């Protein structure tokens, strides 16, 4: 005999908003979403008058201003499961634009540690997206107009910037030749653990979203660059690129 739940869904994004006492009017027009708290702390230094919206478990959300524009920053998680939780919160709070700033591994010998990559779409190797779509071949896409602007801004920074398909996996210690080969055969140029989930949920809520990442290692060559100066420089530049892009888009919007 099956057990019948009293509610259709045990917990929703709106329920999560209630738990952290967040209202749509509390967040900014733009949401910039890093993974680790350290990257969040770096972003906070750009904001004027930041106010903490909430702190829940290890996740923190702050809202401040960039040249008078209300902007929210939140460490959105390092993995697909926690990214799903934080992205649901952002989307239910009616974020208007979401930009993910992350790190990735290169799947090409032409993409080096310290390069930047803007994602167009993603292969779903995570365990979350199957719960959001029945399409086994589903590949979530970033917002093209926003990604175009992000790519242009990143290229102008002077850092070598690439653009293409990402692959998200939950099994970082099972990036075998066979598994990686299947991803690259489908066009993936980088790998991370978050992008597919982030883009999938943003798309379902019709929130324009884009993703930029700094390359921390190379899966093809086996090179590890997590302590490489080039990676840290790219990471800082990536944050500056996104902050400056938000300011630029707001100025362009005000001029119309």
DSSP string, 42-108: HHHTTSEEEEEEEEETTEEEEEEEETTEEEEEE---SSHHHHHHHHHHHHHTT-SEEEEEEEEEESS
Question: How many Cβ atoms are within 10 Å of 51's Cβ, its own excluded?
Answer: 10
Q: Is residue 195 part of a domain?
A: yes
Can you tell me the distance from the alpha carbon of 126 to that of 195, in angstroms, rounded to the nearest whole number?
9
Q: Is residue 158 part of a domain?
A: yes
Can you give the pLDDT at residue 225?
Answer: 87
Mean pLDDT, rounded, for 226-253: 94
Q: Is residue 103 part of a domain?
A: yes
CB burial of residue 165 (10 Å; 0-12, 13-18, 19+) = buried
Residue 197 · residue 87 · CB < 8 Å: yes
Task: Go through 213-247 and write b for each residue having 16 or more CB atoms within 10 A of its CB, e for each that does not.
Answer: bbbbbbbeeeeebeebebbeebbebbbebbbebbb
Q: Which domain holds residue 138?
A: 27-255
* CA dihedral angle for residue 146, residue 202, residue 26, residue 80, rounded to 10 degrees: -120
Q: Is residue 16 part of a domain?
A: no
Q: Is residue 149 part of a domain?
A: yes
Residue 157 · residue 89 · CB < 8 Å: no
Q: Is residue 70 part of a domain?
A: yes
Q: Is residue 15 part of a domain?
A: no
The total number of residues written for the chain in this structure: 256
Q: pLDDT by residue (tens digit) across 14-73?
A: 999 999 999 999 999 999 999 999 999 999 999 999 999 999 888 999 999 999 999 999
Q: Whole-structure pTM over 0.75, yes or no?
A: yes
Domain count for the chain: 1
What's the CATH code of the domain at 40? 3.40.50.1580
Can you give the pLDDT at residue 23?
Answer: 93
HSE-up of residue 60 (Cα within 13 Å, Cβ side)? 13
Can you tell me the distance from the alpha carbon of 174 to that of 139, in angstroms, rounded to the nearest whole number?
21
From the list 72, 82, 83, the residue with the least C-alpha distance to 44 is 72
Q: pLDDT by residue (tens digit) across 85-139?
A: 999 999 999 999 999 999 999 999 999 999 999 999 999 999 999 999 998 889 9
From the list 213, 254, 252, the residue with the least C-alpha distance to 235 is 213
Q: Is residue 8 part of a domain?
A: no
Can you tell me the distance from the alpha carbon of 23 to that of 92, in angstroms, rounded to the nearest whole number?
9
- Over its C-alpha atoms, the chain yields an Rg (Å, rounded) of 18
Mean pLDDT, rounded, for 175-191: 97
Task: Go through 93-128 and write b for each residue having 16 or more CB atoms within 10 A of its CB, e for each that does not.
Answer: bebebbbbbbbbbbbbeebbbbbbbbbbbbbbbbeb
Can you give the pLDDT at residue 256?
Answer: 57
Can you give the pLDDT at residue 252?
Answer: 85
């Amino acid at each position: 005999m099956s057990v019948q739940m009293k509610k259709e869904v045990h917990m929703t994004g709106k329920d999560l908003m209630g738990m952290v006492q967040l209202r749509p009017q509390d967040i900014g027009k733009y949401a910039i979403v890093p993974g680790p708290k350290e990257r969040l702390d770096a972003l906070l230094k750009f904001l004027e008058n930041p106010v903490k919206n909430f702190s829940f478990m290890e996740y923190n959300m702050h809202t401040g201003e960039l040249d008078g524009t209300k902007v929210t920053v939140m460490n959105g998680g390092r993995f697909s499961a926690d990214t799903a939780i934080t992205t649901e919160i952002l989307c239910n709070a009616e974020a208007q634009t979401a930009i993910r700033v992350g790190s990735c591994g290169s799947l090409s010998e032409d993409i080096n540690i310290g390069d930047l990559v803007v994602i167009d779409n993603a292969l779903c190797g995570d365990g979350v997206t199957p719960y959001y779509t029945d399409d086994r071949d589903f590949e979530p896409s970033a917002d093209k107009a926003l990604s175009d602007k992000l790519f242009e801004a990143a290229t102008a920074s002077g850092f070598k910037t690439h653009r293409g398909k990402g692959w998200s996996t939950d099994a970082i210690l099972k990036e075998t030749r066979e598994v990686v080969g299947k991803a690259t055969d489908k066009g993936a140029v980088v790998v991370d653990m978050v992008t597919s989930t982030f883009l999938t949920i943003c798309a379902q809520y019709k929130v324009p979203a884009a993703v930029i990442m700094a390359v921390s290692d190379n899966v093809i060559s086996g090179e590890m660059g997590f302590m490489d100066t080039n990676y840290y420089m790219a990471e800082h530049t990536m944050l500056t690129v996104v902050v400056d892009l938000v300011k630029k888009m707001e100025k362009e919007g005000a001029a119309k």
